[in-house]
Structure 1
Amino acid sequence: MAFPAFFDDAPVLRMHDGLSELLGATPDGMIEYRYADAVRLAGHSCPTVAGAWLCARAGLRALYGERVPERGGVAVSLREPEDAGVTGVIGQVLTLVTGAAGAGGFKGLGGRHGRNQLLRYGDAGSDSLRLRRCDTREAVEVVLDLSSLPADPAQRALLPLLLQGSADAAQRREFGRLWQERVRRLLVDHADDPQVVAVRCVA
């Protein structure tokens, strides 16, 4: 399996998962998630998947500082319903990283390590994406703004040809290259850009 080389340059998210440690999947509960993991989950790489990745990273850094975040210890809520636009895709990426799940998630062992009911959609109290630590109740909201990273005009010109099925092999390759170049810029060049990924503390 070959991914674009820049996937290796994207931020790595390191988590501690107490359930993983308890059940012997990892000796110390430490798990590293890479952007390629999110791509495998979603089946594609796009600004939404990359943006959700960076939002997870920014929110966890704001909540935990230099400490390793606790997977299964963060509740996630999104303002929009799950079936609105790309909200469901964003939620899936957040589930991958944080472990937060809806009603169908893992219910825990002896009252510990539950992940169900930690992911909520249609939360009118959130402006966008909210992450809250379950232990301290500290919360942050993360907003993604891609207005400074517009699609290449050539990409937009090629899209109708692809949708109509009239693009040749070279045009399909060029569209994919331009698409992933925008993702690369987001993940690599703007990973720490507060104009793109903004975080604020909430009560």
Structure 2
Amino acid sequence: MHLPAFYSHAPRLLLRDPLAELLGAAHGGLLEYGYADAVRLAGHSCPTVAGAYLMARAGLRALYPEALPERGGVQVTMSAAEVEGTTGVIAQVFTLVTGAAANNGFNGIGGRFVRHGLLRYGGGDLQSVAAFRRIDNGDTVHVAMDLTGVPPAPQMRALMARALADDASGEERAAFASVWQDRVRRLLLEHADDPATIRAERRA
């Protein structure tokens, strides 16, 4: 595959998945994720997919400040309904990274490693995108993103209109794609740890 080079420079996530360890899928259960994994899952790269990836990263880092995050050890509650806006897309990225799945998830082995039911919708907290809760100790963080600090290029709308036209040239479509991905690049490389853009906070 020929993916944009900046994907490989985006922050990566190292987690431990006890199920992967039990079944011999990964030595020590260690799994590493990169932004390209989220792109493969979604089939595209956009600020929403990148923001979801960074929110998952921020949420897990806040929940496990001194240890590797445990994949399958977190319950995710989305604030909005599954069909509302980009909620479903974001939730898919959260599932990829955390292992938390809706009712179609893994049922477990011997009552352990259950993944289904760990992803829920309609939590109703409009101040965040989702809440991440550790199953072992109940610690909870709320994650959110604000992309106003990473605005699209001024010419984005015009380039998109031309790229979507039936008679668009290859050069016009490439120009739009370049500007589109540059916003994703700025988000991933310049704002991954910017608390004004990606937030993970505990609530009393």
Could you tell me which runs of 5 or more consecutive residues in structure 1 were left unpaired when the two chains were aligned: none
Which residue does the alignment assign to 1:17? 17
Which residue does the alignment assign to 2:143? 142
Which residue does the alignment assign to 1:180? 181
The structural deviation recorded for 1:174 is 0.7
After superposition, the C-alpha distances for 1:37-61 in whole angstroms (9 at most, x for unaligned) are 1000000000000000000000001
The structural deviation recorded for 1:125 is 4.5
Could you tell me which runs of 5 or more consecutive residues in structure 2 were left unpaired when the two chains were aligned: none
Question: Partners in 2 of 1:57 and 1:64 — Cα distance?
Answer: 11
The structural deviation recorded for 1:153 is 1.4
Q: Which letter maps to 2:123?
A: D
Question: Partners in 2 of 1:104 and 1:67 — Cα distance?
Answer: 29
- Runs (4+) off by over 3 Å: none
Identity, % of aligned positions: 54
Q: How high is the TM-score relative to the length of structure 1?
A: 0.97
Q: How high is the TM-score relative to the length of structure 2?
A: 0.96
Question: Partners in 2 of 1:22 and 1:116 — Cα distance?
Answer: 18
Q: 1:54-69 alignment to 2 at 5 Å?
A: 54-69=54-69
Q: 1:153-164 alignment to 2 at 5 Å?
A: 153-164=154-165
Q: Which letter maps to 1:186?
A: L
Which residue does the alignment assign to 2:193? 192
Q: 1:1-203 alignment to 2 at 5 Å?
A: 1-125=1-125, 127=127, 128-203=129-204
Count, aligned residues: 203
The structural deviation recorded for 1:164 is 2.8
Pair 125,144 (structure 1): closer, same or farther in 2 beyond 3 Å? closer
3-state secondary structure, aligned to 2:164: helix
Question: Partners in 2 of 1:30 and 1:126 — Cα distance?
Answer: 34
